[in-house]
A and B are shown apart, each in its own frame.
Chain A
Amino acid sequence: MINSHDPRMNRLGLPDAPEAPAAKGALDQFGTYEVFHQKKEGAPFVYVGPVHAPEADVAFLFAKEQYSRRFACTGMWVVPTAAITVTAYVGDQESAYDTLPLLPKSSAPAAGLADDTAAAEAAYAAGEEDYDIFHLKKRGKAHQHVGKVRASSPADALQVAKGVFGELRPVANVWAVRAADFLRSEDEDRDIWTTTPEKKYRDAISYKVQDRIEKFKAENPQSH
């Protein structure tokens, strides 16, 4: 049996020479979700990373733990990775919108900034939906929310976004996501974000050692 300094490990009674572990089945670690957070009120949502989770609610819980435990935020969105439509990645001086297929003028989608005018009502009734658009300004940085467009498909959403946000250059990569696919934190739940700053014992600035070192050196001039 494994003999540890930790009595809790000893209580597990772990064998010294176990058999080879069984292979893990597919999805043992679940599917993946991508997480976005808002650093402060009014700031755009920014990509922070993925989590593995069996469903959206659990993904939100894991995301809160992983990404807001240390870095204060005022809001969080999670979305299944598979729900994100991704353009090609281009160089840091270029625009990913230039890689989209060119449409003949007559079939170019009408600019569809998401809003609630009568025209929009008609478009929604005809099956169009809102899409959230994210830009990566520079490789190695994080995708940032630039706004919403109304479109009939992800490919259509990218074309509409090109018309609306295409002037913002450079854009190394664009993500389009159907707005309905997100699980988003709600305003009325914003209390859930307020616990982070209270935990001073895990901040670097809570540990001030220099005074004690100076005092020690003054009292022990020979020892160093």
Chain B
Amino acid sequence: MYGSASTHDLPTSAATGLENEDPILLAEFEARIGRGEKIEPGDWMPALYRKQLTRMIEQHAHSEIIGSLPEGTWITRAPGFRRKMAQMAKVQDEVGHAQLLYSAAETLGKTREQMLIDLINGKSKYSNVFNYPTPTWADSNVISWLIDAGAIVNQLANAKGSYGPYCRALDRICAEEAFHLKYGHDAVVHMATGTPIQRKMMQEALNRWWPAIMTFFGPSDKMSVHTEILMRWKVKMASNDECRNQFLDMYVPKIWEIGLTLPDANLRKNEETGVWEFTEPDWEDFKRVINGDGPCNAERIAVRRAAEENGAWVRRALLTPKTQYVRPLA
């Protein structure tokens, strides 16, 4: 699972640093991407490409590992043995995705140690939706279905990007997300077509999560110099609005067909333009939460940090001090 945490903190200055790059190498790099070839770790790349991809893949990795917490909470309380096993498998998948993504980011030069520290000291971001709680089993189901659905829209787009290691990781990730999506849909349909109490529980969870879901893809992109360059370099593959519209187009009808409603009276598809209309999300609140003041920010980081610190003695015991660190190759 993944949000567009990476896309709302593009560098704000107009400086791209491109004027400092070797024009011949830059032209070769752009020609390679233009031919549809992937960039591999040993290739020359502009500093802005390296920096933006590192940030994006790292944030994706953090989102996987933090995103496993609100669902992980429900493993022991999922109704029935089969659902416990399935919920556990899904959470294990998400943590595995983080492993793949940390390695892909490492090929760009940032160590895993530094990424893990930057997560727990609050320097790096992760998808903002995970700063909200899952007070009921139905909330966990909404994440399994709709947050993963949003993530798939994002990840399928990014899998066509230009960086080889990220593409390889995303191919594996997307294959597993197919299970998450079906599992989540099944869980939501079970509740929505169940007893009146189950239906009510699911509707309330959906009402709680809808505002966060609408912010999942980030604010409208300003077509800045950076956005244009990153799209040309196939770092960013689709605008936030395009992703959001695709998500609404695929999932709102599926929500409505099982008798659930969405808490936005203005939500409708403009049949002439094919574009969904909706009440603009509260971006001020979004900014407040992503900057640390959400209901679960402190808990997420504290739990992640406790896991890191409680495992430190095991890692120390296993350490082979003569090992020389080498970046993963691909």
Contacts and interface: CB of A to CB of B under 8 A. Distances in A.
B326 A82 contact: yes
A207 B182 contact: yes
A201 B325 contact: no
Residue from A6, A9, A81 with most neighbouring chain B CB atoms (10 Å): A6
Interface in A202-220: 202-207, 209, 212-213, 215-217, 220
Contact of A89 (B42, B298, B319): B42
Interface in B110-167: 111-114, 116-117, 120-121, 133-135, 164, 167
Interface residues of B, number: 77
B290 interface: no
A: contact size bracket = 35 or more
Nearest to A62: B99
Residue from A18, A27, A143 with most neighbouring chain B CB atoms (10 Å): A27
Contact of A54 (B103, B117, B303, B318): B318
Given A140-B164, A201-B82, A31 B320 contact: yes
A199 B326 contact: no
Contacts of A20: 121
Residue from B112, B190, B318, B329 with most neighbouring chain A CB atoms (10 Å): B329
Main secondary structure of the interface of B (DSSP, over half): helix
Contacts of A173: 40
Contacts of A224: 256-259
Interface in B82-113: 82, 85-86, 89-90, 92-93, 96, 99-100, 103, 106, 111-113
Contacts of A220: 259
A168 interface: no
Interface stretch (A44-52, A116-124, A157-165, A181-189): A44-52
A153 interface: no
A49 B183 CA distance: 27
Contacts of A201: 82, 85-86, 89
A6 B73 contact: yes
A139 B164 contact: yes
Nearest to A25: B113
A167 interface: no
Contacts of A48: 172
Interface in A3-49: 3-6, 8-9, 12, 14-16, 18, 20-21, 23-32, 34, 47-49
Residue from B32, B92, B113, B327 with most neighbouring chain A CB atoms (10 Å): B113
B18 interface: no
A49 B168 contact: yes
A58 B318 contact: yes
Contacts of B256: 224
B303 A70 contact: no
A164 B289 CA distance: 60
A81 B319 contact: no
B208 interface: no
A180 interface: no
A197 interface: no
B305 A26 contact: no
Contacts of A114: none
A207 B318 contact: no
Interface string B21-48: 0000000000010010111101100000
A111 interface: no
A84 B100 CA distance: 20
B250 interface: no
A71 B192 CA distance: 33
Contacts of B112: 29, 52
Interface of A: 2-6, 8-9, 12, 14-16, 18, 20-21, 23-32, 34, 47-52, 54-55, 58, 65-66, 69-71, 80-82, 84, 86, 88-89, 91-92, 139-143, 172-173, 175, 199, 201-207, 209, 212-213, 215-217, 220, 223-224
Given A50-B328, A66-B99, A213-B189, 11 more contacts: A20-B121, A30-B315, A34-B330, A52-B112, A81-B327, A89-B43, A199-B85, A199-B89, A202-B90, A205-B182, A213-B257
